[in-house]
Structure 1
């Protein structure tokens, strides 16, 4: 029988994974075990610290619901979400950069026609949003599905307001024949991510703030193109350099300009990348 100690146990665990039938799962599990064990040895993890870590992750799980995803918040605030996004969306020259998905997307949001108000009663200064969906050659992408969502003027998404009976500040549109779209909404404001739970405690313990710069979420998909998940960030926001989830990209900073009508206007074209060819 092999005698296990803090140096030899890693090899034993890796050997136990050797017969994993799924090669990808085997690689992921082996990497996870290796890095976790190396981490514990590097920081000389104590039993009390290990127990505190387990308790923290348990609290994260208990905070999760159909309205709140604390594990996504944890991943976001550790920079893991943006790391995975960046690795999997290297993009091509001239295409719109991707950023974090965030925890507040809702499937089956209301459908809107061009020009309609997706705010649907959400508090905030009115805003007109317009643009086009194009491919890398500048050709329009008609019929693209455009999902948009954002926080209201109090920094809250509709799913954070249990009193609401209808969706607000979110919706689904489709680009026109020339790739064009336009809709009404509200001007985004900076807001704090939920920090009344374990992720908030972690931020406080590490001397970090929970704030995100003002932004508008987009998810754009069309047949033959890679789905784009991105934000547009409001230029001049004080948190652009210190986004709590590390999601800001300079190419995604945009201008909300006040027009002659006294209403803010945002115009932006989104450039999609072609989907990778299927492997034969």
Structure 2
């Protein structure tokens, strides 16, 4: 007798779903075949095999992105998913996203707020208030707005919200003041919203990824003076000795939506252990004081 898919009959909305982590989440919720077959761009490594993440979640997925070409390509790849072009900084677009979802499927059970951006490395004096405002609109206010619009529908079915934050929102990151501020706010908002929505049975959790190998990570590395050294540094940050894959974040999202029924206000770290242990924090340009040994 075949097992019932873990999220069968549920309807999921994913923002920023055309590539990277977002596409990994769309595949995890919406693909009815093994992850190794569905995601050929995920490579097997010494410590990771795509077949380990084979998921048949059984959900209906509506995903959005500003990248229409990428979104349409993924929609063609994954029969049964629905793509809606959407800019999450525009409330009208988000209203259309919700109305299209309800028109297609008549309900909403889970929202994954994934859309976001990490600017290239910059010192505080290189940032501007206008750039910060635009990043807030994308990384934080887009999440807030879609959540507000979705809540009346999620409450009807005791649904759940999953926000994609970042490990650096908790531990910080050099040359990333504005990005860290937006992601720290996403994590804090998750916890506050979990309190407010508990009376309706709506769970609110977040995933904080560490180094996940995505097109954005590759682009950021390419913007540095030595991309290979940057990638190596990112790889060595994890005790597990590799970067994560979008499929692994997708598997975590499916777990939070379908299996973590007694979890709310949780920040789930998907980091390969990057936050563990000690490490060299000072640089050669830092003011360093070493202890003086007694004679």
Q: TM-score, normalised by structure 1?
A: 0.23
Flag the structure with higher strand content.
Answer: 1
Flag the structure with higher helix content.
Answer: 2
Compare CA radii of gyration and give the structure with the larger one: 1
